Structure 1
Amino acid sequence: MLHYDEKTNEQRELRYATNQNSPFKDEQNGEVTLGHIVFKNGSLFVPKRNQVLQKILSLYHPLKNKIYTELDQVEIAKDDLFDLELEIDALNAAQGIDIDQAEAILRVELGSKVSEMSSKELKRDLLLFAKSNPKLFLELANDDNVQLRNFAIRATEAHIIKLADDQRTFTWASNGRKLMTVPFDENPYSAMASFFKTDEGIQVFQSIEKKFS
């Protein structure tokens, strides 16, 4: 095992010897007692008195940060703090979300089950979702298409619009007039969400909205 010494521009051989004060073979004298470096259950604790092994693993080993990393409490604290702040942001956002948006977000996770849930159940599960997966929750909460997709699903469930059996065409349920054709290989409700953003789609959206009220 070699370590490149930038000062001398040379490759120096590393050798873990428990009876030597240096990790470099060229600085070791006399008989050496070779030691074994063994990780148990993915971890290795090196006592403070074992300076040679600490130097090998912390300073010189060519595979550091490739097959193992050194425990860094500061970095762990930073990661923990980031996760906690993200969770707080998600929970605060969840508190201010109305029931329609809560249903839209949870439909991504729970599917059609949300249609049968009470408002209290929706609010509870929304908070649990925000706590368990804050990153995904915040992404969904800020995604307009999530709400529009849910709106399309609700309109279909309410028999205001109808999705053909082949899932290629949306029509008005009342008269069968075609609203849009779903592009090939695209989720029909995602396609309808995009349609709602067009000039024609805005009018359809407003018409559906009136039927809900």
Structure 2
Amino acid sequence: MILRNLWRRKVRTALTLLGIAVGIAAIVTLVALSRGIVASYAQVTSRSDAHVLIQAVQGPGQAITLGTGFDEDLLHRMRKMPEVRSASGVIYTLAQMSDLPFFIVFGYEPDQDGIRHFKIVEGVTLSEHRTRRGGKPILLGKIAADSVKKKVGDTVRLEQTAFRIVGIYETGTAMEDAGGVISLRDAQILADMPHQVIFVGLRLHHPDR
């Protein structure tokens, strides 16, 4: 009887099996993608030259995100500690950018230690940039610049805001080189995270103690 019903409904059965197969393939693809994102994310955070990296703890079972924000007042308090040589606040966020499915933006204070591993291959750094002509300043990763065919002096739009490319950088990490770097203040506005950071990197006077 069961076989007879399956035979009579062979079209429905075939479609059901096809749907299951597509669902399984989609799950496998998403798992592989999420693992790739996690691996790239771990590589980015581990490349920091900070002696101590502070991040807000996410609850168990939470979806994969770029991090949880916390008040940057903690950053200012840590800078006053005698053991701390420097403290760098960072924001990572995703933004819409024309010609790219998604674009990761890194927000740094232009003069902080943490931004130094973005090696400029064309143009200047954010701290060397002195004019706002043509939009807020942005550094574009080499992979991103090649993808959208942009160069120093061109303008890109993140969400509804125009940014002028003042430099092109390379770090050797795909997740960074496919993104861009803007000032911490601009990133806080873009991410709608006023006065917040996602990471604080500390460099100590005596890290071996």
Taking structure 1 as the reference length, what is the TM-score of the superposition? 0.28
Q: Which has the higher contact order (CA 8 A, sep 6+)?
A: 2
Taking structure 2 as the reference length, what is the TM-score of the superposition? 0.28
Structure with the bigger percentage of strand: 2
- Whose Rg is larger? 1
